[in-house]
């Protein structure tokens, strides 16, 4: 069974641009979560989707948004990029709701110049 797939793996943007990251969950998983990982702040929760509905949102500005499609694939978007948005963005999927057993992808590494 294929794991969680994230694209692109690496990307470089400049301040003020926007970016869209994509995540394909494990087949059959309906819950998708996104996390930001930086050396300074560690792993921080961005948002979670289940059956196309956002169920939870972390403490990030409105520039960070996401969505989930009917096939459970998810995208997140960051608009008006800032230098501090440089990070590894991790997507995770799970079979069940309210579980800590998440299956993470390898992440999309975003560099903002």
Q: Which residues bind another protein (CB under 8 A)?
A: 4, 31, 33, 35, 39-45, 48, 50, 55-56, 58-59, 90, 92, 94, 97-107
**In the complex with another protein, which residue's Cβ is closer, 97 or 111?**
97
**In the complex with another protein, which residue's Cβ is closer, 59 or 70?**
59
Q: What is the SS3 assignment for 13-65? A: ECCCCCEEEEEECCCCCCEEEEEEEECCCEEEEEEEEECCEEEEECCCCCCEE
Q: What's the closest the beta carbon of residue 46 comes to another protein, in angstroms?
A: 10
Please enumerate in sequence order all residues whose Cβ is within 8 A of that of 96, keeping only pairs 6 or more positions apart, or say none.
Answer: 31
Q: What's the closest the beta carbon of residue 37 comes to another protein, in angstroms?
A: 9
Structure tokens, 106: 């390898």
Asked if 104 and 90 count as a contact pair (C-beta separation under 8 A), the reply is: yes
Q: What's the closest the beta carbon of residue 78 comes to another protein, in angstroms?
A: 16
**In the complex with another protein, which residue's Cβ is closer, 17 or 38?**
38
**In the complex with another protein, which residue's Cβ is closer, 70 or 100?**
100
Question: Which residues sit opposite 92 in a β-bridge?
Answer: 33, 104
Q: What's the closest the beta carbon of residue 64 comes to another protein, in angstroms?
A: 13
């Amino acid at each position: 069974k294929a794991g969680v797939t994230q694209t692109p793996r690496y990307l470089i943007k400049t301040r003020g641009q926007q970016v869209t990251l994509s995540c394909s969950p494990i087949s059959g998983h309906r819950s998708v979560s996104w996390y930001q990982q930086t050396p300074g702040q560690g792993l921080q929760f961005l948002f979670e989707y289940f059956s196309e509905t956002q169920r939870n949102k972390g403490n990030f500005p409105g520039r960070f948004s996401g969505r989930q499609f009917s096939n459970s694939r998810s995208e997140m978007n960051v608009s008006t990029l800032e230098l501090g948005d440089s990070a590894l963005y991790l997507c995770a999927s799970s079979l069940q709701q309210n579980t800590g057993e998440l299956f993470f992808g390898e992440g999309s590494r975003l560099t903002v110049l």
